[in-house]
Amino acid sequence: MDTLSTAWAVTRTVAGAVWQLVWWTLRSWRLLLACAVLGNVLLILDFEVAGHAVIWCVPAFSLLRALWSAVHPMTYETVLGGPIRRRGWRRHLRKQWPKIADRCGLTLTTDDARVIPRLRRVRADGNTLTFQVRARVGHTVDDLTNAAEAIATSMGAEAVETRRLGAGWLELSLTMRELLHVPTLPTIPDAIETRAVTLGRTADGSPWRLNLAARHTLVVGRSGSGKGSIFWGIAGNLAPAAHAGMARLWGVDLKGGVEVAVGSPMFSHVAMNEADAVRLLRDLHRVIVDRQSVMRGLSRTFTPTPGDPVHVLMIDELAVLTAYASKDVVNEAANLLKLILTQGRAFGVMVVAFVQDPRKETVGMRDLFTQTIALRLASAAETRMVLGDGMAALAPAHHITPTMPGAGYLVGDDGHIERVRADYWADDFIRMVAATYPAPPAPPVPTESDTGSPAGDALQAEAPGETVGRAPRPRPRTPRKRSPRKTTTAASTEPGAEVA
Ligand SMILES: Nc1ncnc2c1ncn2[C@@H]1O[C@H](COP(=O)(O)OP(=O)(O)OP(=O)(O)O)[C@@H](O)[C@H]1O
């Protein structure tokens, strides 16, 4: 079996090298023709060596490339293959730009001329081709943005990202070669990080750092889209900080605790049923209220120290809590969560929530999350629902294939878009990280009497964003006295304007 697979691998490599030799030689047919003519002239003039050298230089160079790429693809790619390919992308774009712009509907016809958007700063790095385009009079940057997908397709790119540069300029970054199709595994985290974590790679192959400081993150993706990788990427990378008392992880998993249970030692507080979840949210809210009273007048930004950690609430399947649980739980949990989302950031309390179903009614508080990661979604409508109008073209999460779990688009708090793929966290690896960095025993949560924080149904009366300092508990309701109903006309809306 081993001999067979080795023979198959060798045959494939040789066939690939032969194909490349032929393709690279014939692709530059103009040069090949010129060399053949010049070489024959030299032969006729009796310069035999020079004549043969000129005739065979193109096939010889192709042969060298084919052999090098087959024998040592890594060095070939770095030294020769990559630079040649990137030069080809740049040349192709510059040469074809008038045609591409025209076909993508960006040509403006005036009385005496046809004008296309100006192209400048064409650069190629790694697997990315980046260039800037200037809108002409009569066009807007939005017109250019709308044409981005068509431009990318005409260049044979895998994906496109756009960035508005202001005053009519748009920057396009085309991913010319897909680097995210190969899954990657994380390394054991060892740094104490509370502001950002490394979750995987971005489209250009650089590490994907997710900023957490003062941000709430919503992760949306269909079942099997790889939400677990992001959940454990965040929890696992924060585990050393949690172990050192610089971060505290709170986990809510109402899908029977299946997700959180794998690495539960990393968490200081875990809720796996509805009643515990509400209790946990109340406790976390008290932490915020407690910090509000401590920090009031002293500082406006929270800096974690050992013993005074950042708190990260991780909710697996948010919709169970905010839509599918019993009505009382949904109401109270939604109100508590809104308070935490609106008040927590400045006080070192961050929320990371995961949701499968992006319909409006399941995540009513979507706007309170400051950054969103859209993994594979079912349709363009879902992408728009999750990321906002106009985003289906810029961050087409519905085009992500099921063969790339963990891949998605991050839309940051400043609107920038990144195509990313998370490392895959296997169960055994999660267990190992949890065993290496268990959370220390959690100190008691501030009680209601410490903070004066209203709990439970008292919160339902408050609007999100209001300071929950010492709000009074609601008084028991007494029935209102009703006076006999009197007939009124539409015009008589002022008190006392009754008509008999
Ligand atoms: N980053 C990744 N790289 C490669 N494969 C992955 C990655 N993340 C997940 N997978 C694969 O995809 C499968 C589904 O992933 P996961 O359970 O995380 O999806 P999910 O979105 O949490 O689904 P559900 O909502 O149904 O729990 C995993 O069993 C694993 O095989």
Stronger pLDDT, 182 or 295, i.e. the higher one: 182
Distance CA 425, CA 427 (A): 7
Mutate to test the pocket of ligand 1, among 424, 425, 427, 428 (most ligand atoms within 8 A of CB): 424
How much is the ipTM here? 0.97
Instruction: Look at residue 383 and tell me whether its pLDDT is greater than 60.
Output: yes
What would the pLDDT profile of 311-340 be if each residue is shown by its tens digit?
A: 999 999 888 888 887 888 888 998 999 999
Please tell me if the CB atom of residue 322 comes closer than 6 angstroms to any atom of ligand 1.
no
Percent over 70 (pLDDT), the chain:
87
Pairing relationship of beta strands 217-220 and 349-355 according to DSSP bridges:
parallel
**Residue pointed to by tokens 């200037």:** 134
- How far apart are the CA of 330 and the centre of ligand 1, in A? 27
For a pocket test of ligand 1, which of 225, 324, 401 has the largest count of ligand atoms closer than 8 A to its C-beta?
A: 225
**Residue with more model confidence, 39 or 326:** 39
More confident residue, 275 or 459: 275
Q: How far is the CA of 494 from the centre of ligand 1 (A)?
A: 62
Q: For ligand 1, atom 2, which residue shows the shortest CA distance?
A: 424
Looking at residue 475, its pLDDT comes to 42
Average pLDDT, whole number, for the chain?
A: 83
Residue 6 has pLDDT above 60, yes or no: yes
Looking at per-residue pLDDT, the higher value among 287 and 460 belongs to: 287
Judged against a pLDDT cut of 50, whether residue 295 lies above it is answered with: yes
- Residue-wise pLDDT for 47-59, tens only, equals 888 888 988 998 8
**Residues 439 and 265 sit within 8 Å (Cβ to Cβ):** yes
Mean pLDDT of 252-278: 89
Is ligand 1 within 6 A of the CB of residue 344?
no
Which pLDDT belongs to residue 450?
A: 59
Q: Indicate whether residue 229 lines ligand 1 (CB < 6 A).
A: yes
The Å distance, Cα 215 to ligand 1 centre, comes to 24
pLDDT in tens, 123-142: 998 889 999 999 888 888 88
pTM of the model: 0.74
Query: Residues marked as binding for ATP?
Result: 221-228
- Find the mean pLDDT for residues 217-231: 94
| C-alpha 435 – ligand 1 centre gap (Å) | 22
